[in-house]
Chains A and B, each alone.
Chain A
Amino acid sequence: MECQECHQRPATVHLTQVVNGQKSEIHVCEKCAKENGYMNYGEENFTLNDLLSGLFHSEGPSPLKGNTPHSYAQKPKLKCENCNLTYEEFARVGKFGCAECYKTFDDRLDPILRRVHSGNTRHDGKLPKREGGNLHLKREIEEHKTNLRQLIEQEEFEEAAKVRDKIRSLEDQLSKGEDGDG
Chain B
Amino acid sequence: MSLQHFMNEAISPWMKQEGPDSDIVLSSRIRLARNFSQHPFPIIASEETLGHVLTFFKEEFQKQSFRDYKDFELVQMKDLQPIEKRVLVEKHLISPHLAEKAEKSASLISQNEQVSIMINEEDHIRIQLYFPGFQLDQALEQASQLDDWLEEKIDYAFDEKRGYLTACPTNVGTGMRASVMMHLPALSLTNQINRMTPAINQLGLVVRGIYGEGSEALGNIFQISNQITLGKSEEDIVEDLHSVVKQLIDQERKAREALMSRSSIQLEDRIFRSFGVLTNSRIIESKEAAQCLSDLRLGIDLGFIDHIPRTILNELMVLTQPGFLQQYAKDTLSPDERDIRRASLIRERLQLENEE
Tell me the A residues contacting B by CB distance below 8 Å: 13-15, 18-20, 38-44, 46, 48, 82-83, 85, 93-99, 102-103, 109, 112-113, 116-132, 135, 138
B165 within 8 A of A: yes
Q: Which of B143-194 contact A (CB under 8 A)?
A: 144, 147-148, 151-152, 155-170, 172-174, 176-177, 179
Contacts of A15 in B (CB 8 A): 202
Instruction: Answer yes or no: B112 CB below 8 A from chain A CBs.
Output: no
From A48, A95, A122, A135, give the contact of B230 (CB < 8 A). A122
Q: A96-B169, A109-B169, A118-B228 are in contact. Are A135 and B234 (CB under 8 A)?
A: no
A39-B202 contact given A83-B44, A94-B169, A125-B233, CB 8 Å threshold: yes
Nearest residue (CB) in B for A117 is: B230
Could you say which of B10-18, B33-41, B296-304, B321-329 contacts chain A? Answer: B33-41
Chain B residues whose C-beta falls within 8 Å of the C-beta of A83 in the assembled complex: 40-41, 44
Chain B neighbourhood of A112, CB < 8 A: 169
Min distance, Cβ B13 to any Cβ of chain A, angstroms:
25
Contacts of A97 in B (CB 8 A): 40-41, 43-44
- B82 in contact (CB, < 8 A): no
Q: Are A98 and B44 in contact, CB atoms less than 8 angstroms apart?
A: yes
Output the residue of B35, B39, B161 with the most chain A CB within 10 A.
B161
With a cutoff of 8 Å between Cβ atoms, the chain B residues found around residue A85 in the complex are 44
Cα–Cα, bound, A43→B208 (Å): 9
Contacting pair A131 B169 (CB below 8 A): no
Residue in B41, B144, B230 whose beta carbon sits within 8 Å of that of A123 in the complex: B230
The 5 closest A-B pairs by CB, nearest first: A120-B231, A123-B163, A99-B157, A117-B230, A125-B174
The answer to whether B158 touches A132 (Cβ under 8 A) is: yes
- In this complex, the interface size class of chain B, counting residues with CB under 8 Å from chain A, is 35 or more
One of A18, A39, A95, A103 near B168 (C-beta < 8 A) = A95
Q: With A118-B204, A120-B230 known to touch, is A126 a contact of B44 (CB < 8 Å)? A: no
Interface of chain B, helix or strand or loop or mixed? loop
A121, B231: Cβ atoms closer than 8 Å: yes
A42 contacts B169, C-beta separation under 8 Å: no
For B202, the chain A residues whose CB sits under 8 A away are 13-15, 38-39
Q: Is the CB of A126 within 8 A of B233?
A: yes
Are A18 and B232 in contact, CB atoms less than 8 angstroms apart? yes
Taking chain A's interface residues, is the majority helix, strand, or loop, or is none over half, making it mixed?
A: loop
Beyond A95-B122, A118-B228, A129-B151, 8 additional pairs, beta carbon < 8 A = A18-B232, A41-B206, A41-B208, A42-B206, A43-B223, A96-B166, A102-B162, A127-B158
Contacting residues, chain B, for A127 (C-beta < 8 A): 158
Do A20 and B231 have beta carbons less than 8 Å apart? Answer: yes
**Is the beta-carbon distance between B206 and A40 smaller than 8 angstroms?**
yes
- Check A128/B158 contact, CB under 8 A, given A96-B165, A97-B44: yes
B320 on interface, CB distance cutoff 8 Å: no
Contacts of B330 in A (CB 8 A): none
Q: Report chain B residues within 8 Å CB of A125.
A: 163, 173-174, 176, 232-234, 237
Given A48-B168, A128-B156: A99 touches B35 (CB 8 Å cut-off) = yes
Which residues of chain A come closer than 8 Å to B144, judged between CB atoms? 126
Assembled-state Cα–Cα distance A123/B166 (Å): 13
Task: Determine if B227 is an interface residue (Cβ-Cβ < 8 Å).
Answer: yes
Q: Determine the chain A residues whose CB is within 8 A of the CB of B168 once the complex forms.
A: 48, 94-96
Q: Is B262 an interface residue (CB 8 A)?
A: no
Nearest CB of A to B100, in Å: 12
For B197, the closest partner residue in chain A by CB is A41
B41 CB, nearest partner CB in chain A, Å:
6
Contact in complex: B161, A122 (CB < 8 Å): yes
